[in-house]
A and B are shown apart, each in its own frame.
Chain A
Amino acid sequence: MKKTELSASREARPSQGHDNGVNRRSFLARGVKAAGMMAAGGATGGAALARAAEPIGSTFPAWSTVIGAPFRGYGQPSRFEEPTKRFVARAYGDLAPGTGSARTPLEALEGVITPNGLHFERSHNGVPDIDPAQHTLMIHGLVKRPLVFSMASLLRYPKISRTCFIECAGNSSQNILPAEPLQLPVGAVHGLVSCAEWTGIPLALLLQEAGIEPGAKWLLAEGADSAGMSRSVPIAKAFDDAMVALYQNGERLRPEQGYPVRLLLPGWEGNMNVKWLRRIKVTEGPTHTKDETSKYTDPLPDGKARQFTLGIEVKSLITRPSAGMKMEGRGLYEISGIAWSGAGRIARVEVTADGGTNWQNAMLEGPVLSKSVVRFRLPWQWNGSNALLQSRATDEKGNVQPTRKAYKEAMAVDSRFHNNTIVTWSVDADGSIKNVFA
């Protein structure tokens, strides 16, 4: 596991509204003054005078003196950011190499938009290599006219763009099932959530063209991967905000995100946002597929299980500082994290540094969009003693993020889906940060 050092220059940034005498203006003023002193030293020093006749190039890094890399058709991250990558978990190893997930490295990212190459992926039998010229989307079932759309025809439709999160219903299951907390970066445990701007066609538009028949209450959405992923969706969602998505953060979908077309159900469990969408069947009732019966249901202690718990509940977590990082001595740090809710906008994120005795409202960085990730920030003066960091989100419907203890009491011992419970980071006096259950 890579240890991420908290850089003082990045963390001790001045933030608006804190009261310990540091603000943006004084930082900037100090910067100007320092630069002036350096310039003055350079002009008056004897060594600098001796070099005055020499070209200045030798005093600058090589990259400032040679022709840089040529242009390329598709940009890539700096080679120095090579360690910033997704955490790959393959449940069955080589037996089923496409079954598992790649988790967003939340600890390395900022803002709310997940870069496309780092968006989480959960696939059930690998990523299909789909030729868009051959792929079609069929809409049939309880419709007046069963229709087949080519990808070229879909691209001609009027579109909408929307920023929203997708979270796998199984995200954070590894923070609810184990008896002892895993010591992994936050993304490796909670990284089955990402946020992007999606562009596509309102599903309602395509359903209207097919013509919905009376009695239609559900849809069956099916993917073209070799798992044939299929999920039932209440038809009301189609007429609310469902989208047939073609673009992600401005470019066509990545293969692992469902190229050439996926279903987008803002705020609902990731598994239902069927990738590689090939078929939508309008039905009277749910189809009760494998992934809405044996999986993605929520067992209770009495033996029953909740089915079709479709919405993602309010959730937040601190991404920095977080497990595996190391504090660099006492001083000012910024607590930075993400919050989201499938029920709408995030109304408030509270942060505690003492395990929940005292809570403080964090700043929400706007715009705060419905069913999108929002970034929260709070300056924190670390005095070098033990601390228990937690965040607790509330959404506009008044839903409050629960404790891990409350989940464990309410659900069956092996319940793992929809874990939106509060995450706790323990900061020790030596600056090390651990994942703990509290």
Chain B
Amino acid sequence: MFSHKHLAGLLGTTALLGACAAQTNVPTQGPNLGRVASADEVASRDISIPPSGVGLPAGSGTSKQGAAVYAAKCQSCHGEKGAGKPADMLVGGIGTLATGKPVRTVGSFWPYATTLFDYIRRAMPINKTMSLTNDETYAVSAYLLSLNGIIAEDAVMNAQTLPQVKMPNRDGFIDYSLK
């Protein structure tokens, strides 16, 4: 049904062309046109928070404070108490990952609490991002962690306490970056 008599010849040609095309000259010297950034400039732009918590801002919040913020600014998408729909479910599912019906939420799946602060501050609420204060961001983080049973209801989340929160699925990931 199929046939390709000249296949070997065609493959040889394409391999040769490919090899030629890869031999591009990659420039190694630039004109040094970058302006040196001031420390303040860097600090005002550097909003990413790694698991160490380095870079977390001043401020704090509790679950109770977070409940009010959540109801006003998050619930319309994420449902009552993080139940989800239409946007992601945020609460529950702990213990389900190895079952046939895994439920992946902040509580059951996310490995680091710092990611919660980082993501809420940069990307939520989706219709007006970067509009929450640092206190509000800590408070909403506390609310979601508390609803998941990961921290006590009266726990205060701040730059010191948030990185210390041990998420249930902290050891659930296999690093493939070097594989």
Residue ranges of A at the interface with B (Cβ–Cβ < 8 Å): 16-20, 92-93, 95-96, 99, 124-125, 138-140, 145-150, 153-154, 156-162, 201-202, 204-206, 208-210, 220, 222, 226-228, 230, 234, 278-279, 281, 283, 285-290, 293-294, 297, 299, 301-310, 345, 351, 353, 358, 360-370, 378-381, 412-414
The distance in angstroms between the C-alpha atoms of A303 and B101, with both chains bound, is: 10
At the interface with chain A, which of B37-45, B59-67, B133-141? B37-45
Nearest opposing residue in chain B for A361, CB measure? B7
Asked whether A360 lies within 8 Å of B35 as measured between CB atoms, the reply is no
Asked whether A220 lies within 8 Å of B176 as measured between CB atoms, the reply is no
Residue ranges of B at the interface with A (Cβ–Cβ < 8 Å): 1-7, 10-11, 13-15, 17-18, 20-22, 24-37, 41-42, 45-51, 77, 86-87, 97-102, 104, 106, 109-112, 114-115, 118-119, 122-123, 126-127, 129-130, 172-178
Asked whether A303 lies within 8 Å of B97 as measured between CB atoms, the reply is yes
Chain B contact surface mostly: loop
Number of A-B contacts (CB under 8 A): 238
The distance in angstroms between the C-alpha atoms of A157 and B178, with both chains bound, is: 31
Given A140-B37, A201-B30, A301-B98, the answer on whether A353 and B2 have CB atoms closer than 8 Å is: yes
Complex interface: chain B residues within 8 A of A279 (CB): 45-46
Asked whether B173 lies within 8 Å of A362 as measured between CB atoms, the reply is no
Asked whether B102 lies within 8 Å of A308 as measured between CB atoms, the reply is no
A364 in complex: contacting residue of B10, B28, B129, B130, CB < 8 Å: B10
Asked whether B33 lies within 8 Å of A414 as measured between CB atoms, the reply is no
The distance in angstroms between the C-alpha atoms of A150 and B34, with both chains bound, is: 8
Asked whether A157 lies within 8 Å of B34 as measured between CB atoms, the reply is no
The distance in angstroms between the C-alpha atoms of A358 and B118, with both chains bound, is: 52
Asked whether A220 lies within 8 Å of B27 as measured between CB atoms, the reply is no
B33 in complex: contacting residue of A157, A304, A353, CB < 8 Å: A157
Nearest opposing residue in chain B for A227, CB measure? B123
Nearest opposing residue in chain A for B126, CB measure? A96
Asked whether A124 lies within 8 Å of B123 as measured between CB atoms, the reply is yes
Given A162-B24, A202-B26, A370-B18, the answer on whether A310 and B177 have CB atoms closer than 8 Å is: yes
Given A148-B34, A230-B48, A290-B119, the answer on whether A306 and B176 have CB atoms closer than 8 Å is: yes
The distance in angstroms between the C-alpha atoms of A206 and B176, with both chains bound, is: 27
